[in-house]
Chain A
């Protein structure tokens, strides 16, 4: 099992460009999450999907959109990237909403110039 996979691993964008970060899990989990991690701060929740077909805003959703494509895949889209979105993005999944443990992907390092 690969667990949680994310693509790409690294990305550099110019201000105003758009891109989609991809995430997939092979653990048959119902819930998936997107976080961002900035220096000196803990991970902050951007959006989550408690189950297939549902998505909800987290703590810092502005500037992002998500799509739960199917049970396995949960994508994060930046429509018009800004330098403030330079960060490391982590996708995670858990068996159910409120499950004890979330499993994390390796992250995507995004730089917006």
Chain B
């Protein structure tokens, strides 16, 4: 059974500091890994998706890396802003032989202080 862990559970940084969010998973047989953002009381918004054959993806100030062999992904957010305050979830999509099941971590709640 795939287990997805995100540490730390919460993070508070001053504005302008770079954010580093960690995600680990136990089964390296994944189809892809995705990072989501969740604002309080809202649904999930996809930020970045990394295919199992890729090492990283970038979008603006966001960069996500994937090391499938070690079961780790890291989301970097450069020059953080108060608007980056949210909960960030990672999710791994299992391979077809595992019914494409999407497994989520519990999330890291980020607060960027102005």
Interface centre among B31, B32, B93, B102 (most CB of A within 10 A): B102
Docked Cα-Cα span, A67 to B42, in Å, equals 24
Beta-carbon contact of B103 and A104 below 8 Å: no
The contact size tier of chain A is: 20 to 34
Render B40-52 as a binary contact track against A, CB cut-off 8 A, 1 for contact.
Answer: 0111111001010
- Interchain CB contact (< 8 A) of A101 among B4, B46, B89, B101: B46
Beta-carbon contact of A98 and B103 below 8 Å: no
- Interchain CB contact (< 8 A) of B34 among A41, A97, A101: A101
Task: Give the distance to chain B from A9, nearest Cβ to Cβ, in Å.
Answer: 9
Task: Give the distance to chain B from A24, nearest Cβ to Cβ, in Å.
Answer: 14
Docked Cα-Cα span, A58 to B98, in Å, equals 12
Decide: A106 near B42, CB < 8 A? Known: A42-B104, A98-B100.
yes
Beta-carbon contact of A42 and B4 below 8 Å: yes
Decide: A45 near B96, CB < 8 A? Known: A98-B31, A106-B42.
no
Interface Cβ pair total, 8 Å cutoff: 53
Q: How many residues of chain B have a CB within 8 Å of chain A?
A: 26
- Interchain CB contact (< 8 A) of A42 among B34, B41, B51, B107: B107
**Residues in chain A near residue B91, CB distance under 8 A:** 42-43
**Residues in chain A near residue B42, CB distance under 8 A:** 106-107
Beta-carbon contact of A40 and B106 below 8 Å: yes
**Residues in chain B near residue A98, CB distance under 8 A:** 31, 93, 96, 100
Docked Cα-Cα span, A41 to B93, in Å, equals 17
Beta-carbon contact of B102 and A104 below 8 Å: no
Asked if B71 is an interface residue, CB under 8 A from chain A, the answer is no
**Residues in chain B near residue A59, CB distance under 8 A:** 101
**Residues in chain A near residue B4, CB distance under 8 A:** 42
Beta-carbon contact of B103 and A100 below 8 Å: no
Closest chain B residue to A96, Cβ basis? B100
8 closest residue pairs by CB, A with B: A42-B104, A104-B43, A98-B100, A104-B44, A43-B104, A106-B43, A42-B106, A42-B105
| A–B complex contacts, Cβ < 8 Å, 9 sampled | A4-B43, A58-B101, A100-B32, A101-B34, A104-B36, A104-B43, A105-B43, A106-B41, A107-B42
